[in-house]
Amino acid sequence: MELLSILNDLEEFVQNSPRVPMTKKLLIDEEKILDFLDRARTILPEEVRKAKWLVQEREKVMSESRQEAHRLLEEAQKEVEKKVEESEVVRQAREMAEEIVRKAEQVSREMRLGARDYADNVMAKLDGRLEQIAKEIEAGRAELRNMK
């Protein structure tokens, strides 16, 4: 992910910045920090777009699973109709069809929840990292204002 690369570069830049003697304060090149922020802002919409694409792909897979479940159910119903005279076969076919539908619905639910959890996790990590960067920037700006 390019965003993580930018964040890693920013972190390395901050860690390698010169320190003010006998303090925990850093001397940071404002233009360089702003450049990192601009790069992150440019890349962030792409990362969000990728997360949305992933959710859409999961939804597509779930839709295909539902279609497959319906197709399997129709096949099972046709099979049942062929063997209507044999009550045991009819009963077994219904049970199989119901089991197939249950499994397809379960897989669909799990995939939908997994996709949403993944997208939420990605966005939460991005949000947390951006909050951290914003705090570091604000602290750096506050130091610069205090140096006046």
Q: What confidence score (pLDDT) does residue 34 get? A: 92
Taking only the tens place, the pLDDT of each residue in 48-92 is: 788 888 889 888 988 998 898 889 889 988 877 776 666 776 677
Q: Which amino acid is at 19?
A: R
pLDDT of residue 98: 94
More confident residue, 4 or 89: 4
Nearest to 55 by CA among 5, 104, 112: 112
What mean pLDDT do residues 21-48 have? 86
Residue 11 has pLDDT above 80, yes or no: yes
Q: Which residue is associated with the tokens 């209507």?
A: 84
Is the model more confident about 132 or about 2?
132
| pTM exceeding the 0.85 threshold for the entire prediction | no
b/e map of 103-130 (b: 16 or more CB within 10 Å)?
ebeebbeeebeebeeebeebeeebeebb
Q: How many angstroms separate the CA atoms of 103 and 131, rounded?
A: 41
Q: What would the pLDDT profile of 93-147 be if each residue is shown by its tens digit? A: 789 999 999 999 999 999 988 888 888 888 999 999 899 999 989 998 888 888 8
Q: Residue 148 — very low, low, confident or very high, per pLDDT cuts 50/70/90?
A: low
Percent of residues, the chain, with pLDDT higher than 70: 95
Q: Yes or no: say if 126 and 3 are a contact pair by the CB < 8 Å rule.
A: yes
Res 4: pLDDT: 84
As a whole number of angstroms, the distance between CA 80 and CA 51 comes to: 43
Q: Which residues of 70-99 are buried (b: 16+ CB within 10 A; e: fewer)?
A: eebbeebeeebeeeeeeeeebeebeeebee
pLDDT reported for residue 89: 67
